[in-house]
Amino acid sequence: MSDSKPKTGESASPFNIFAKTFWTEGWGSIITAVMIALFIRWAFFEAYVIPSGSMLPSLLIHDHIFVNKFVYGLRVPFSEKWLVEFNPIKTGDVIVFKYPEDMNTFFIKRVVGLPGDKIEYDNGVLYINDKVVEKNVPISEEDWNWLTDNDFKNGHVGLGGPEQFAHFTESLADKKHTIIMRKNRDYDERFRAVTVPKDSLFVMGDNRDNSKDSRVWGFLPKENILGRAMFVWLSCEDTLPGIRFLCDPTTIRWKRFYHQVN
């Protein structure tokens, strides 16, 4: 009759990587789970939180979004260099990227210009390759209706109340999205025409008068891109006091769950 007690010695050690139980029940299973999670975060998906109003009304402050990091390709780990590239970046894509002036800060904007495109912005009118990007009557009021009095009072939209702003539907390539602009524009400083260089992009926020984007800090190097925004998986009007990264459950915007980012 065999002894049912566990054997002592090397095989019984919880740190014996050659023991089957190390990988199924011991520390190895925890290490494996962590490595899988880190791999998924590096290669496929990562969550981010919208901190500002530069993408209003498409994305609200405290929207928690999932970003597809696999859609454009894979990078060399711990590097900005592409290991392999898949789908091309398209005009109209909403992307998360490392801010060129501080690589530890992440921004989210919409791609307006690709390499070789000529971009100009004059008194609220966007030109791409000398053609006006038309602004039409909104397809829906849904995006605009998400804005609250606090968004205007706190300056998230811009200075002024709702009556001083208008929203439009803009089409970039095959993507239709909502933008916000100030009404009664007498004069706006002109952003003179530039041509997007190789391996770079021109990006802008949907909140056109309250966005720090390529009009301010220049072209975005393609290697700074982290991925394309997919959908909102959690959203709230406010966070817990003293814990700015956790949603206040009493202010959750339930209807924004799985809201697609257009």
Task: Write out the two tokens for 238.
Answer: 């406010």
Q: Quick check: helix, strand or coil at residue 114?
A: coil
Active-site annotation holds for 54:
yes
Q: Which of 58, 69, 98, 109 is catalytic?
A: 109
What are the C-alpha distances in Å from 3 to residues 6, 7, 18, 25? 8, 9, 22, 21
Separation between Cα atoms, residue 110 and residue 203, nearest integer Å: 5
Q: Which of 54, 200, 211, 214 is catalytic?
A: 54
Provide the b/e sequence for 5-28 (b: ≥16 CB within 10 Å): eeeeeeeeeeebeebeebeeebeb
Contact 96, 105 (CB under 8 A): no
* CB-facing half-sphere around the CA of 181: CA atoms within 13 A: 20
Question: Helical H runs in 6-127?
Answer: 20-24, 27-43
Question: Strand ranges (DSSP E) for 23-134?
Answer: 45-49, 63-68, 73-75, 82-85, 94-98, 106-113, 118-122, 125-128, 131-132
Separation between Cα atoms, residue 68 and residue 47, nearest integer Å: 9
> Which phi and psi angles does 136 have, rounded to 5°?
-115, 170
Active-site annotation holds for 140:
no
Catalytic positions, please?
A: 54, 109
